[in-house]
Structure 1
């Protein structure tokens, strides 16, 4: 499917919230004051990039890339990918894979020594998707502590 990948802009907030509502059912899909403030903070953060894959000008998939400074590994930064979601009507068409490849390239350009991703999904198809994108489940063990 023909799509373009770009960094999100302020006007993308309603489309992103609609995508996040698919990721986390029950999330508010319409912008409110708190979402607008958080979005402004995200856009102003030089360590954070929200990428979108758009089809016919509409964001249909997104992921967040965070590049963090570091004192180990020759002071090379590392990167995290989070909030990966593709509109259900546009899955299996290359948008998500394109986004993850774009995130990897941006992390490489920033000099990162690793790129990490956690998923809460146990679905075999989702795990295969991340493996197809180049991630593995062998090298590290992930832990989460909810606050």
Structure 2
């Protein structure tokens, strides 16, 4: 594992193109927002308190990313919870420990925001993907339900 080469930082406005390119590794067929739409969405996200899009770089090249949204909460003593979404690693950087390091960084960011839990969902049924999340400390302890307006992403 050479995750010591990975530098993780909050994504900034100038990273928008790199993020959109990374998301192609989630689903190459996914509709991409126009540059104007993407810039407006990122601006809105950057104003969302406590939340962050983390970008992992190796030798200055975008390697992985995930989004952490911190959600206010009126239960659990008023402590918020974190939701991790859009976990992605560029295919050329996989199997090096970068994804796990990224999820650890997202979890640490959630703990600094006093979240009482961090959760994520995956639509994947691939054993390696499920083992990856379990190996990163996430346990399948709840049942998830969703209503969708877009179809489920196809697995390779």
Match for residue 140 of structure 1?
A: 142
Match for residue 7 of structure 1?
A: 10
Task: State whether residues 20 and 29 of structure 1, in contact with CA within 8 Å, keep that contact through their aligned partners in structure 2.
Answer: no
TM-score w.r.t. length of structure 1: 0.93
Query: Unaligned stretches of 5+ in structure 2?
Result: 150-156
Query: Unaligned stretches of 5+ in structure 1?
Result: none
Alpha-carbon distance in structure 2 between the residues aligned to 1:87 and 1:76:
34
* Residue of 71, 74, 83 corresponding to 1:71: 74
Alpha-carbon distance in structure 1 between the residues aligned to 2:107 and 2:83:
10
TM-score w.r.t. length of structure 2: 0.88
Task: State whether residues 5 and 53 of structure 1, in contact with CA within 8 Å, keep that contact through their aligned partners in structure 2.
Answer: yes
Give the CA RMSD over aligned residues: 1.5
Q: Deviations over 1:81-135 (max 9, x none)?
A: 0000000000011111011000111111111111110011111000000000001
Alignment of 1:15-54 (within 5 A): 15-27=18-30, 32-54=35-57
SS of residue in 1 equivalent to 2:125: coil
For the pair 1:59 / 2:62, whether they are aligned, the reply is yes
Match for residue 96 of structure 2?
A: 93
Match for residue 83 of structure 2?
A: 80
Task: State whether residues 18 and 30 of structure 1, in contact with CA within 8 Å, keep that contact through their aligned partners in structure 2.
Answer: no
Alpha-carbon distance in structure 2 between the residues aligned to 1:51 and 1:31:
22
Moved over 2 A (4+): 27-31
Task: State whether residues 79 and 114 of structure 1, in contact with CA within 8 Å, keep that contact through their aligned partners in structure 2.
Answer: yes
SS of residue in 2 equivalent to 1:107: helix
Alpha-carbon distance in structure 2 between the residues aligned to 1:44 and 1:109:
18
Q: Deviations over 1:17-68 (max 9, x none)?
A: 0111110222356862111211121122224200011011122100000111
SS of residue in 1 equivalent to 2:110: helix
Alpha-carbon distance in structure 1 between the residues aligned to 2:33 and 2:130:
30
